[in-house]
Amino acid sequence: MSNLRERMLHDMQLHGYANRTQEVYLWSVKKLQQYFQLSPDQISEEQLRDYFIYRKNVSKWAPGTMKIAYSGIKFFFTYTLNRDWTILKLIKAKNESKLPTVLSIHEVKIILGAIKSPACRTCLTVIYSCGLRLNEALHLQVSDVDGQRKLIHVQLGKGAKDRYVPLPDSTLEILRDYYKTHRNQKYLFPKTGHSGKESPVATTCMAPQTVQGTLRATAKNLPTITKRVTPHTFRHSYATHLLEAGVNIRLVQQYLGHSSLTSTMVYAHITKVGHHDAHRKINRLIKGVFK
């Protein structure tokens, strides 16, 4: 599998896929290999058909997981193995239509205040106050922070697109204070290492699992937090809170790095401002009917 894995990895790099996409596509092929205990290039089209049916009907994988499995395996057989199979043309993932989980401003304060790790707390603060993805925040470099113009330069975000996002004054101060704890010349969030003292000389950034695990454990121990919270929840909350504050949706789209306004429009469905205004108008209308 190692040679096939390397070839698939190179194929994905040539296609310009982001690191995270490469990781989940490799995962999907690894799960296929583990299921049959065969090298993937020895799996037949009929076996592949049975595998997808099993994952859908028996494993009952969520639509999002099925989409990753379809996309990753389809890429592998189509481009890495150059197979022209009917099943690869037949499979189609069902798009999820669930609205994202959003925290209130009060909930954001509670969670951030409860996180003991300065590195994780600062990283999540940046994710919320600048609307970044987890990997975008972790890979921020010292040179990406423009303190004079109050901007953060997000380099090679999803789709290999650069963008600038506003940097709130309070977040800038938090970043400056946190930077003093490690003074790494390259990364804002350098790897701390097992000793917790490697940050000043670390040559890589902190691992995503560190932030994810810390957040999960913290939220679990907060009785007032009943929602499932991930780092991406803070990004969802940022977008929703901006819209509720009256920020133009086109600007929100730009700050989030969305290629299409359709992706940003989902937050318009969950803003309290719009619902409250609609509720007020509906009440006035119905009251006029029955008076």
Please list the active-site residues: 133, 158, 232, 235, 258, 267
Local structure of 203: helix, strand or coil: coil
- Burial of 9 by CB count in 10 Å (0-12 exposed, 13-18 middle, 19+ buried)? middle
> Strand 163-166 and strand 145-146: pairing?
unpaired
Mention every residue, 6+ apart, whose C-beta is less than 8 A from residue 145: 152, 153, 167, 172, 175, 188
Instruction: Give the phi and the psi of residue 16 in degrees, each rounded to 5.
Output: 80, 25
Nearest CA among 238, 285, 214 for reference residue 100: 238
Provide the β-strand partners of residue 154: 163
227-253: string of b/e by CB count within 10 Å (b at 16+)? Answer: eebbbebbbbbbbbbbbbeeeebeebb
Query: In this structure, is the dihedral angle defined by the CA atoms of residues 56, 61, 64 and 66, taken in order, positive or negative?
Result: negative
CA distance 255 to 252: 5
